[in-house]
């Protein structure tokens, strides 16, 4: 007999426990793997603020050119079979400013449903070319998530 148990741990790890009947006794086997979700900072969602804020940065020691443009979006990602719905968007012309760059997204609270999932996505463009993007989900607002995030970008292949 094989029994599978999948659970999500508080540290963002998925744990899979298998119990296998072997001869006259059960032998538990446990496996764990990291989950592709980033923890958020700050306090849980407060509807009265109607704002998501945070910073955008990257690890590489590369200066942004003067024409760099940061685009940050709050998206509803609840539907697996459809594109994300943009709830709010902010475009920041960096004009020589370097990372980390702060952002504040104000959203319409009537567009937020407690059962839905929301995340923040960020991208940096040099002119019209996408050069940096977020590659993991940064959950916010609902399901106990905060309204402040620190987004780490990755370079886009040239």
Q: How much is the average pLDDT of 61-65?
A: 96
> 63-99 b/e with 16+ CB inside 10 Å = b?
ebeeebbbbbbbbbbeeeeeebeebbeeebebeeeeb
In the prediction, which pLDDT does 48 show?
A: 56
Which residue, 93, 58, 88, 65, is CA-closest to 75?
Answer: 88
State how far the Cα of 36 lies from the Cα of 8, in Å rounded to an integer.
12
pTM for this model (two decimals)? 0.70
- CA of residue 93 relative to chain centroid, distance: 22
State pLDDT tens for residues 6-40.
433 333 444 444 333 333 444 444 444 444 444 44
The string of DSSP codes covering 97-133 is: --SSEEEEEE--GGG--TTS-EEEEEEEEETTEEEEE
The pLDDT of residue 80 is above 60? yes
Angle at 76 between CA 70 and CA 80, to 5 degrees: 115
Collapsing DSSP to helix, strand or coil, 9 comes out as coil
Which tokens sit at 43?
């306090």
* HSE toward the beta carbon, residue 148, CA cutoff 13 A: 7
pLDDT at 8: 39
**Is-contact 121 76, C-beta < 8 A?**
no
Span between the terminal Cα atoms of the chain, in Å: 51
Euclidean distance between CA atoms 13 and 138, whole angstroms:
16
């Amino acid at each position: 007999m094989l029994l599978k148990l999948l659970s999500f741990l508080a540290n963002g790890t998925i744990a899979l426990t298998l119990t296998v009947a072997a001869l006259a006794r059960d032998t538990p086997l446990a496996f764990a793997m990291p989950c592709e979700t980033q923890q958020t900072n700050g306090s849980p969602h407060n509807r009265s603020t109607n704002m998501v804020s945070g910073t955008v940065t990257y690890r590489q020691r590369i200066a942004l050119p003067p024409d760099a443009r940061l685009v940050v979006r709050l998206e509803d990602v609840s539907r697996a079979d459809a594109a994300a719905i943009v709830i709010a968007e902010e475009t920041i012309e960096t004009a020589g400013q370097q990372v980390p760059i702060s952002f504040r997204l104000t959203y319409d609270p009537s567009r937020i449903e407690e059962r839905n999932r929301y995340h923040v996505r960020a991208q940096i463009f040099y002119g019209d070319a996408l050069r940096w993007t977020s590659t993991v989900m940064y959950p916010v607002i609902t399901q106990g998530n905060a309204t402040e995030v620190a987004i780490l970008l990755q370079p886009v292949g040239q």
